[in-house]
């Protein structure tokens, strides 16, 4: 099949061994049963039919295999061939096909084996002993990513050859080991089954926060590097924007953004935005975020069978074909176990081999329950596993409050693990955060009373609580991802903004409680807002301070506001005595 570029797309080659082929016995929608598959492995990728449709083996029985096909199966016939294969790279497919969409059955090498990479060996040489996980070289990819080439976990031995510094392709031998008289050659390329966890030396307790640049997440519901988070929310609640903010601004080395079931234009937006976005490195250099990002796309405008296969068949495994008893809403009884095995990949670990090094994988799962119903089986199973819950609220999204994280139902179980970090960063922060949560919770309780008797009937302290909660909601928790000053909020800015709002709350309460002066004039909330209107405006305007001005400049402004609040309330009390 020639493409617009003239290059022939790969199909079954005549040189393929017939012994590696099975044949189709039954086709039922996206599920294909093939015979003659002896020697195949679970979850192995295969090519089905003369169109080379990509599929995955999900069940083996004797020499027959049940295959989940990720592309439209129309036209498949009994006795069509089934061949085992590997992965697919997007850019090369686009060049070969010259089409907007991926054509059926296209197959090209997953990594270009002709590109030359700059190989730089470590300070080891022939005769040295190495074992699984030991770093023996580095390979430069771009200014953000330097690949560390480690020995596969199952390899060990004495070095008989290591390539000198220079440029090599993925087919060139760069290391040769001898173990018990057997020599083994290694290239820079390593393959690893995606469903098998990588071995590690030991698991460590996670104690460093995942800083996202979103105030509501960093301050109220923090996660850790190596944590598990869930973002459930109905359609239109802003899951994609939060996911993209994590990819753009979080304190991670690399980001893998999986867009499964996203609309095609959302993935296209990521591809267009990310190359233009820059991040500032510690040495002051500006680099493209795309250099540290990997995108995995399975958009909702791909073939229907692919969507069914990857989402529904992947979860429910087509019960009528398997003759298994479905559980809640047709999902399998082992749904929670499958989800747990995925989320258990997250964690902070000590890596195998030398030199000693730590690493972490943080998993943030965005779940779309039908109609925003959090009792959906997938959502409830996910929430029983993850440690951080960022619940998105449809009503907040309709009020254009973004990120639409509901502060009353969300939670984080990592707060205690991060206490030592907060103590070092700012010893007052934990008390300030507790007070802010109390104010938001108290506002929810007062709203019911306000609906019955009106705001004027409330006590002065309750009026202050409502106004402070409004400050927190509209000028702290709400954040505009499309402005230069608010798209990313450093943690020091989040802490100082919250400190000043809670400082206002404490001072206002103290002023009201100190009561009347000699002439009987009371300090009321109305009086506070009238006399200290300029300070109140400065509180509202804190979010407009641009982090680009520098940390010292911003902290100076926030400290000045804090001191002015103290002086303003002192003067107010003196005047009313």
Q: Which pLDDT tens digit goes with each residue over 2-43? A: 444 444 444 444 444 445 788 999 998 889 999 988 878 777
Question: Which of 140-149, 302-311, 506-515 is predicted least confidently?
Answer: 302-311
Beta-bridged to residue 223, according to DSSP, are 210
CA angle 263, 260, 397 (to 5 degrees): 55
Answer yes or no: is pLDDT of 221 > 70: yes
For 431-440, 457-466, 509-518, which range has the lowest pLDDT when averaged over its residues?
509-518
**What's the confidence (pLDDT) of residue 108?**
63
Residue 519's pLDDT is what?
A: 54
Confidence of residue 107 (pLDDT cuts 50, 70, 90): low
Q: Has residue 301 got a pLDDT over 70?
A: no
Give CA–CA dist 270/293, Å, rounded: 10
What is the separation of C-alpha 55 from the centre of its chain, rounded to a whole number of angstroms? 26
**pLDDT confidence of residue 264:** 64
The C-alpha torsion from 10 through 12 and 16 to 18, rounded to 10°, is 170
Region 371-375: what's the mean pLDDT? Answer: 82
**Once rounded to an integer, what is the mean pLDDT over residues 478-495?**
91
Most confident of 154-163, 333-342, 351-360: 154-163
Q: CB within 8 A of 173, min separation 6: which ones?
A: 161, 163, 185, 186, 187
pLDDT above 90 (res 560): yes
| pLDDT score recorded for residue 574 | 83
- Torsion of the alpha carbons at 40, 259, 300 and 383, rounded to the nearest 10: 90
Q: Which 3 state secondary structure label does DSSP give 84?
A: strand
User: Per-residue pLDDT tens for 385-401?
Assistant: 999 999 999 999 999 99
Question: Where is 430: in which H helix or E strand?
Answer: helix 429-453
pLDDT value of residue 310: 40
- Confidence band of 275 (pLDDT split at 50, 70, 90): confident
Helix spans in 188-296 (H): 215, 239-249, 264-273
Closest of 529, 511, 407, 422 to residue 468, by C-alpha: 529
Predicted confidence (pLDDT) per residue in 157-166, tens digit: 999 999 999 9
**Are 272 and 244 spatial neighbours (Cβ–Cβ below 8 Å)?**
no
pLDDT surpassing 50 at residue 483: yes
- Model confidence at 337: pLDDT above 90: no
What per-residue confidence (pLDDT) applies to 86?
43
What is the percent of the chain where pLDDT is above 70? 83
Q: What is the mean pLDDT of residues 280-308?
A: 66
Of the ranges 115-129, 166-180, 209-223, 232-246, which one carries the lowest mean pLDDT score?
A: 232-246
Least confident interval from 254-263, 312-321, 526-535: 312-321
**SS (HEC) of 505-540:** HHHHHHHHHCCCCCCCCCCCHHHHHHHCHHHHHHHH
The reported pLDDT for the residue numbered 306 is 45
Q: Average of pLDDT values for 101-125?
A: 78
- Find the range with the poorest average confidence among 136-145, 206-215, 266-275, 391-400: 266-275
Residue 424 has pLDDT above 90, yes or no: yes
Return mean pLDDT, the chain: 83
More confident residue, 199 or 92: 199
Q: What Å distances lie between residue 290 and 100, 145, 271, 487, CA to CA?
A: 21, 11, 9, 17
**Arithmetic mean of pLDDT, 414-437:** 94
Domains belonging to the chain, first-starting first, are 18-87 (2.40.30.20), 117-186 (2.40.50.100), 202-413 (3.40.50.300), 426-575 (1.10.1140.10)
Q: pLDDT band at 428, cuts 50/70/90?
A: very high
What is the arithmetic mean of pLDDT over 450-468? 91
Least confident of 112-116, 214-218, 427-431: 112-116
Neighbours of 62 (CB within 10 A): 8
Please give the pLDDT value at position 317. Answer: 34
Q: What is the pLDDT of residue 253?
A: 84
Spatial distance between the Cα atoms of 171 and 491, rounded to a whole number of angstroms: 46
């Amino acid at each position: 099949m020639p493409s617009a570029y003239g290059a022939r797309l790969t199909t079954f080659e005549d040189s393929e061994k017939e012994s590696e082929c099975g044949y189709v016995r039954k086709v039922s929608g996206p599920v294909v049963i093939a015979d003659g598959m002896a020697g195949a492995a679970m979850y192995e990728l295969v090519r089905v039919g003369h169109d080379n449709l990509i599929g995955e083996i999900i069940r083996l029985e004797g020499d027959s295999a049940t295959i989940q096909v990720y592309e439209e199966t129309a036209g498949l016939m009994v006795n069509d061939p089934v061949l085992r294969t590997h992965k697919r790279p997007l850019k090369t497919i686009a060049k070969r096909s010259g089409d907007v969409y991926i054509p059926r059955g296209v197959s090209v090498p997953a990594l270009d084996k002709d590109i030359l990479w700059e190989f730089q060996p470590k300070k080891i040489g022939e005769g040295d002993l190495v074992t699984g996980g030991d770093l023996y070289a580095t390979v430069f990819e771009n200014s953000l990513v330097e690949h560390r080439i480690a020995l596969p976990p199952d390899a060990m031995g004495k070095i008989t050859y290591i390539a000198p510094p220079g440029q090599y392709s993925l087919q060139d031998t760069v290391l040769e080991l001898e173990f018990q008289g057997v020599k083994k050659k290694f290239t820079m390329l390593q393959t690893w089954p995606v469903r098998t966890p990588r071995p590690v030396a030991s698991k460590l307790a996670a104690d460093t926060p995942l800083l996202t640049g979103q105030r509501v997440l960093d301050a109220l519901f923090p996660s850790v590097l190596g944590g598990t988070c869930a973002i459930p929310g109905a359609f239109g609640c802003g899951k994609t924007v939060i996911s993209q903010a994590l990819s753009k601004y979080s304190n991670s080395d690399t980001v893998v953004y999986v867009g499964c079931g996203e609309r095609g234009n959302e993935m296209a937006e990521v591809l267009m935005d990310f190359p233009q976005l820059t991040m500032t490195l510690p040495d002051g250099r500006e680099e493209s975020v795309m250099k540290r990002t990997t995108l995995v796309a399975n958009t909702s405008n791909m073939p229907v069978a692919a969507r069914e296969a990857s989402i529904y068949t992947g979860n429910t495994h087509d019960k009528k074909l398997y003759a298994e008893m479905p559980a809640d809403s047709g999902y399998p009884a082992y749904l929670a176990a499958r989800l747990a095995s995925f989320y258990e990949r997250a964690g902070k670990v000590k890596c195998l081999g030398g030199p000693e090094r730590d690493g972490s994988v943080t998993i943030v799962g965005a779940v779309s329950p039908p109609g925003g119903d959090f009792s959906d089986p997938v959502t409830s199973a996910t929430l029983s596993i993850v440690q951080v819950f960022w619940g998105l609220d449809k009503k907040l999204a309709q009020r254009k409050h973004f990120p639409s994280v509901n502060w009353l139902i969300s939670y984080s179980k990592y707060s205690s693990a991060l206490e030592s970090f907060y103590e070092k960063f700012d010893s007052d922060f934990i008390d300030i955060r507790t007070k802010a949560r109390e104010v938001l919770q108290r506002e929810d309780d007062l709203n019911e009373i306000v609906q019955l008797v009106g705001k004027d009937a409330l006590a002065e302290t309750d009026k202050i609580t409502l106004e402070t909660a409004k400050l927190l909601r509209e000028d702290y928790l709400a954040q505009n991802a499309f402005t230069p000053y608010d798209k990313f909020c450093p943690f020091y800015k989040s802490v100082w903004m919250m400190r000043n709002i809670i400082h206002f709350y404490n001072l206002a309460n103290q002023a009201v409680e100190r009561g009347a002066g000699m002439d009987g004039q009371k300090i009321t909330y109305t009086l506070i807002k009238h006399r200290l209107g300029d300070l109140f405006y400065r509180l509202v305007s804190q979010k407009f301070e641009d982090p680009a001005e520098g940390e010292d400049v911003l902290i100076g402004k926030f400290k000045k506001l804090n001191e002015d609040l103290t002086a303003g309330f002192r003067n107010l009390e003196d005047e009313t005595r």
